[in-house]
């Protein structure tokens, strides 16, 4: 992953970061309200959201890219070589990961590898059409933003089946706490009237096992060569030695 991502702990301690954590947490909790008995990985910078499932049974793992630097309570990893066995997880929450990754496709293939056959991936990425991607004082203004269509095509190309898309962060990233007091109203109006203009896109996808199976090639007719019977071989020799040949 790129090392150009804005300092994440400082951002989430600031007024816009606190508002983003609250609003995004509400949408994530609405998509995945109950993860009881499921093994869940938070990949990228998912620390502000891992508490959504506190008290529910199941493993909770947080992996942070090594380029982000030492992070208390989180293990560092390479984003395209996850230190996890095949089919070991039920859910992956990918936040501040895809837009900052220099190898987005290998990253998604690693997610596909470690998910179980019915596993799901929730990607949170900055929206190319939203205002949060325009300001570099937030981590959503770093890296590469995606439109909804780009995210869908990218996931489908890496053998995921897109289930649903949501949007969040319709309020501009004001740096002042008093200006963010109406963030809830911004969210309700945006979700009702301008869903494609949210600052962040949340897209849930399921591991598509059938996409990994070869469709099979069209059967082609094959020419089979078989040795001729002895009498036909003798007749062929007679024709070749006949006069005039």
pTM over 0.85: no
* pLDDT score recorded for residue 96: 92
* pLDDT score recorded for residue 231: 56
* pLDDT score recorded for residue 204: 98
Over the stretch 77-95, which tens digit does the pLDDT of each residue have?
887 889 999 999 999 999 9
* pLDDT score recorded for residue 133: 92
* pLDDT score recorded for residue 102: 83
Q: What is the mean pLDDT of each run of 10 residues along the chain (245 residues)?
A: 64 92 95 96 93 94 80 75 94 93 91 95 96 90 92 95 95 88 90 90 91 51 52 52 53
* pLDDT score recorded for residue 136: 85
* pLDDT score recorded for residue 241: 53
Q: Does domain 8-216 have CATH number 3.10.20.30?
A: no
* pLDDT score recorded for residue 3: 47
* pLDDT score recorded for residue 209: 78
Q: How many CA atoms lie within 13 A of 135 on its CB side?
A: 14
């Amino acid at each position: 992953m790129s090392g150009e991502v804005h300092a994440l702990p400082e951002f989430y301690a600031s007024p816009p970061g606190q508002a983003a954590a609250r609003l995004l947490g509400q949408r994530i909790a609405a998509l995945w309200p109950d993860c009881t008995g499921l093994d869940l990985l938070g990949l990228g910078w998912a620390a502000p959201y891992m508490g959504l499932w506190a008290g529910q049974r199941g493993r909770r793992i947080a992996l942070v890219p090594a380029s982000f630097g030492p992070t208390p309570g989180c293990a560092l990893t390479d984003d395209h070589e996850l230190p996890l066995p095949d089919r070991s997880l039920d859910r992956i929450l990918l936040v501040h990961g895809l837009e900052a990754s220099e190898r987005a496709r290998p990253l998604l293939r690693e997610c596909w590898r470690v998910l179980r056959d019915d596993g799901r991936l929730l990607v949170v990425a900055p929206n190319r059409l939203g205002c949060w991607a325009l300001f570099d004082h937030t981590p959503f203004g770093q890296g590469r933003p995606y439109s909804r269509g780009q995210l869908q095509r990218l996931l489908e190309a890496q053998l995921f089946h897109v289930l649903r898309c949501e949007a969040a962060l319709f309020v501009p990233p004001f740096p002042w706490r008093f200006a963010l007091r109406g963030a809830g109203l911004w969210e309700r109006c945006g979700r009702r009237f301008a869903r494609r203009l949210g600052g962040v896109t949340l897209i849930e996808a399921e591991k598509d096992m059938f996409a990994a199976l070869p469709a099979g090639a069209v059967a082609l007719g094959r020419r089979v060569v078989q040795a001729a019977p002895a009498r036909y071989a003798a007749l062929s020799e007679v024709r070749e030695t006949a006069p005039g040949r």
